[in-house]
């Protein structure tokens, strides 16, 4: 069963005034363990598609299924709960809670899930160790670099043990080294823990690392290709 499946997904903004077709009959299916990039020029619909898959936006027509559950038409409160348990988010601007430390940011998602305090602490520490921030657990976002903040965001996204992680332009605000470091971490997690990642990106470095590249043009899937991805380099992680 695919982790994500869209059927004839369309989104039209301003349907009654000046219709803008952000998505046109998009049909994609993403399996568990994939490392997928959604690429395309600005306005091609990649962020809209990501928002639909993440349950943040509602389609004009068509459906989205996550792990076999149709999320289209789901009530707002139910959808929030569904996202909490099934989808991890990594945002372009990190979007950590500024008054929380790295550990608290990662734990917070588990708190929302109602997990045991000891378990939260332990998992948060493990995840921060995995993203190479074992020594920055008590730092607040303002005390960390962009790359470090984005790694905390990845740890946060993983904390809820989601079915897949949606990452919207995760490297857009990072310098070269930080971006490569982040990609190494995500690729390692994909390889070793079979975490499913779906990116929207312009970044060639991300595209080169993806095993599957879906290209969007004018709201439609222009191409959907599997490629030999650049290998994860253990020494860089």
Which CB sits closer to another protein, 21 or 140?
140
Binding region for another protein (CB under 8 A): 51, 54, 56-57, 76-77, 80-81, 83-85, 89, 91, 95, 97-100, 104, 107-109, 111-113, 156, 160
Which CB sits closer to another protein, 29 or 95?
95
Asked if 123 contacts 110 with a C-beta cutoff of 8 angstroms, the reply is yes
165 forms beta bridges with 88, 197
Which CB sits closer to another protein, 69 or 80?
80
Least Cβ distance, residue 75 to another protein (angstroms): 12
Q: Which long-range contacts (CB under 8 A, 24 or more apart) does 51-58 make?
A: 52/6, 52/9, 52/11, 52/23, 53/4, 53/6, 53/166, 53/198, 54/83, 54/87, 54/89, 54/166, 55/79, 55/82, 55/83, 55/87, 57/11
Least Cβ distance, residue 232 to another protein (angstroms): 27
Least Cβ distance, residue 223 to another protein (angstroms): 27
Least Cβ distance, residue 44 to another protein (angstroms): 17
Which CB sits closer to another protein, 16 or 76?
76
């Amino acid at each position: 069963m695919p982790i994500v499946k869209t059927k004839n997904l369309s989104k039209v903004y301003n349907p009654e005034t000046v219709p803008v077709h952000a998505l046109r009959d998009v049909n994609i299916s993403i399996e568990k363990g994939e490392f997928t990039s959604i690429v395309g020029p600005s306005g091609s619909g990649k962020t809209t598609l990501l928002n639909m898959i993440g349950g943040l936006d509602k389609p004009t027509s068509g459906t989205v299924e996550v792990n076999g559950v149709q999320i289209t038409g789901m009530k707002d409160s139910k959808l929030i709960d569904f996202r909490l348990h099934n989808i991890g988010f990594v945002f372009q601007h990190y979007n950590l809670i500024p008054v929380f430390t790295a550990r608290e940011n990662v734990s917070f998602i588990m708190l929302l899930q109602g997990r045991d305090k000891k378990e939260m602490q332990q998992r948060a520490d493990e995840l921060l160790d995995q993203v190479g921030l074992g020594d920055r657990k008590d730092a607040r976002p303002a005390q960390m670099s962009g790359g470090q903040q984005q790694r905390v965001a990845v740890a946060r996204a993983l904390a809820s043990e989601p079915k897949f992680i949606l990452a919207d332009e995760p490297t857009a605000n990072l310098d070269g080294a930080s971006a490569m470091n982040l990609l190494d971490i995500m690729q390692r997690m994909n390889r070793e823990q079979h975490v499913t990642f779906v990116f929207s990106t312009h970044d060639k470095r991300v595209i080169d690392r993806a095993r599957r590249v879906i290209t969007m043009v004018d709201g439609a899937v222009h191409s959907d290709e599997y490629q030999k991805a650049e290998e994860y380099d253990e020494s860089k992680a």
